């Protein structure tokens, strides 16, 4: 087990695309690379979760002003600092529990969870814009993360933007829905990349758009079971 490796100057200085900001350039000073590491922050783990992005830049600035860097650069655990992300995080805890990872919403087991939770877009978006440009520009961050996770075996992409982003970084045209429905990972070197539904409500609704709620839940359960099998 070890905590976040030192964030290199190349990431701290990484230029954001238009309509995005680098969080390390607006007052966030680490030491965590991702705000979500306070939920799952085990760089020695074998599972990397990649969601779409963190909170919008304006929301981070507001929390930063009130709570400082440490208070702003953390996951939503229900304490009221952030207005988004709690349902997503609750579902992540439940899904990880289903594959034998003991995670609690407060993040008390973060650094020995066996899981690192990050975002495909390292950058924060300004306003209501697509995350695509932020994801595309985050390739150097993904490279840094994978090089610093010595036991990495599975990358679980939570939603289409995260999966498409990873595929673009690797030069692959693999289709998110096809790989999700087949529960077939994309192999890259020593690890496998899985396409999953985002664990927020919109992602759940889109897992099987014409199915019943119980059918969607059953499909998502099976998706995560495939992750568990790949790790065992």
What CATH number does the domain containing 58 carry? 3.40.470.10
Confidence at 177, pLDDT banded by 50, 70, 90: very high
Q: Let me know if residue 195 belongs to a domain.
A: yes
Length of the chain: 232
Residue 2 covered by a domain: no
- Cα gap 145→5, rounded to integer Å: 9
Long-range contacts of 83-90, Cβ-Cβ distance < 8 Å, separation of 24 or more: 83/59, 84/55, 84/59, 85/55, 87/199, 87/200, 87/201, 88/51, 88/198, 88/199, 88/200, 89/39
**pLDDT above 90: residue 40:** yes
> Per the domain annotation, does 155 fall within a domain?
yes
Q: What is the CB-side half-sphere exposure of residue 29 using CA atoms within 13 A?
A: 4
Query: How far is 126 from 112, CA to CA, in rounded Å?
Result: 33
Share of residues in the chain with pLDDT > 70 (%): 99
Kindly report the pTM of this predicted structure.
0.96
CB atoms inside a 10 Å sphere around CB 210: 5
Does any domain span residue 4?
Answer: no
Residue 215 has pLDDT above 80, yes or no: yes
pLDDT digits (tens, 9 = 90+) for 84-110: 899 999 999 999 999 999 999 999 989
Q: d(Cα 104, Cα 113) in Å, to the nearest integer?
A: 10
Give the pLDDT of residue 3: 65
Distance between CA atoms of 28 and 9, rounded to whole angstroms?
A: 14
Number of domain units in the chain: 1
Residue 154, domain member (yes or no): yes
Secondary structure of the chain as H, E, C letters: CCCCCCCCHHHHCCCCCCCEECHHHCCCCCCCCCHHHHCCECCCCCEEEEECCCCCHHHHHHHHHHHHHHHHCCCCCCCCCCCCCHHHHHHHHHHHHHCCCCCCCCCCCHHHCCEEEEECCCCEECCCCCCHHHHHCCHHHHHHHHHCCCCCCEEEEECHHHHHHHHHHHCCCCCHHHHHHHCCCEEECCEEEEEECCCCHHHHHCCCCCCCHHHHHHHHHHHHHHHHHHHC
- For residue 119, the cross-strand partners are 51
- Residue numbers of the domain that contains 90: 9-231
Structure confidence at residue 87 (pLDDT): 93
Mean pLDDT of the chain: 95
Confirm whether 13 is domain-assigned. Answer: yes
pLDDT of 1 strictly over 80? no
Specify if 3 maps to a domain: no
pLDDT score of 53 = 96
């Amino acid at each position: 087990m070890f905590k976040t490796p030192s964030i290199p100057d190349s990431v701290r200085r990484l230029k954001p695309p238009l309509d995005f900001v680098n969080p390390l350039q607006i007052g966030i000073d680490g030491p965590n690379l991702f705000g979500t590491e306070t939920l799952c922050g085990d760089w020695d783990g074998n599972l990397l979760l990649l969601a779409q992005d963190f909170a919008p830049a304006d929301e981070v600035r507001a929390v930063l002003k009130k709570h400082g860097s440490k208070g702003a650069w953390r996951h939503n655990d229900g304490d009221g600092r952030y207005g988004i992300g709690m349902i997503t995080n609750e579902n992540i805890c439940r899904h990880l529990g289903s594959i034998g990872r003991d995670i609690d919403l407060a993040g008390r087991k973060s650094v020995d969870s066996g899981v690192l939770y990050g975002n495909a877009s390292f950058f924060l978006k300004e306003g209501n814009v697509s995350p695509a440009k932020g994801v595309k520009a985050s390739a150097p961050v993904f490279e840094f993360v994978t090089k610093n996770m010595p036991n990495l075996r599975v990358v679980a992409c939570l939603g289409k933007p995260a999966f498409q982003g990873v595929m673009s970084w690797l030069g692959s045209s693999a289709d998110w829905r096809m790989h999700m429905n087949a529960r077939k990972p994309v192999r890259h070197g020593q690890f496998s990349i899985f396409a999953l539904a985002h664990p927020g409500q919109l992602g759940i609704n889109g897992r099987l758009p014409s199915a019943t709620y119980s059918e969607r839940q059953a499909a998502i359960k099976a998706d995560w079971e495939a992750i568990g099998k790949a790790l065992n």
